[in-house]
Amino acid sequence: MTSSPAPVIAQVEHLAKSYGGVPAVTDVSLELRRGEILGVLGPNGAGKTTTVECLTGLRVRDAGRVEVLGLDPARDGAALRQRVGCQLQESELPAKLRAGEALDLYGSFYDDPADGRELAARLGLGGHLDTPYAGLSGGQKQRLSIALALVGNPEVAVLDELTTGLDPQARRDTWDLIEQVRDDGVTIVLVTHFMDEAERLCDRVVLIDQGEVVATDTPAGLIASVQGGQVLRLRLATTTPRRALDEALQAVDELAELRVTPPQAGPETSPTVVTPEDEVVLRGGREMVGPALLALARAGLEPVDVAAERMTLEDAFVTLTGRTASPSYQEA
Ligand X SMILES: Nc1ncnc2c1ncn2[C@@H]1O[C@H](COP(=O)(O)OP(=O)(O)OP(=O)(O)O)[C@@H](O)[C@H]1O
Interface residues with ligand X (CB under 6 A)? 19, 24, 42, 44-50, 89, 193
- Dihedral of the CA atoms 65, 33, 216, 174 (nearest 10)? 120
With contact defined as beta carbons under 8 Å apart, do 125 and 144 qualify? yes
Q: Which is nearer to ligand X, 66 or 252 (CB)?
A: 66
With contact defined as beta carbons under 8 Å apart, do 23 and 16 qualify? yes
To the nearest 10 degrees (0 to 180), the angle between helices 99-107 and 138-150 is 20
Q: Euclidean distance between the first and final Cα of the chain, in Å?
A: 43
Helices (H), the chain: 48-56, 77-81, 99-107, 116-122, 138-150, 168-183, 195-201, 219-225, 242-249, 289-298, 313-321
Q: Which is nearer to ligand X, 42 or 154 (CB)?
A: 42
With contact defined as beta carbons under 8 Å apart, do 236 and 274 qualify? yes
- Residue 215 Cβ vs ligand X, minimum distance, rounded to whole Å: 16
Q: Which is nearer to ligand X, 124 or 165 (CB)?
A: 165
Burial letters for 124-149: b for 16+ Cβ neighbours within 10 Å, e otherwise?
ebeebbebbbeebeebbbbbbbbbbb
- Residue 219 Cβ vs ligand X, minimum distance, rounded to whole Å: 19
Q: Do the strands 240-241 and 303-310 form a parallel or antiparallel pair, or are they unpaired?
A: unpaired
- Residue 59 Cβ vs ligand X, minimum distance, rounded to whole Å: 8
- Residue 45 Cβ vs ligand X, minimum distance, rounded to whole Å: 4
| Residue 241: other Cβ atoms inside 10 A | 12
- Residue 24 Cβ vs ligand X, minimum distance, rounded to whole Å: 3
- Residue 323 Cβ vs ligand X, minimum distance, rounded to whole Å: 12
Q: Which is nearer to ligand X, 49 or 140 (CB)?
A: 49
Q: Which is nearer to ligand X, 25 or 120 (CB)?
A: 25
Q: Which is nearer to ligand X, 191 or 289 (CB)?
A: 191
CA distance 39 to 67: 18
- Residue 44 Cβ vs ligand X, minimum distance, rounded to whole Å: 4
Q: Which is nearer to ligand X, 5 or 45 (CB)?
A: 45
Q: Which is nearer to ligand X, 48 or 182 (CB)?
A: 48
CA distance 234 to 136: 43
- Residue 184 Cβ vs ligand X, minimum distance, rounded to whole Å: 27
Provide φ and ψ at 3, rounded to 5°.
-95, 150
Torsional sign, CA 72, 76, 78, 80: negative
With contact defined as beta carbons under 8 Å apart, do 186 and 138 qualify? no
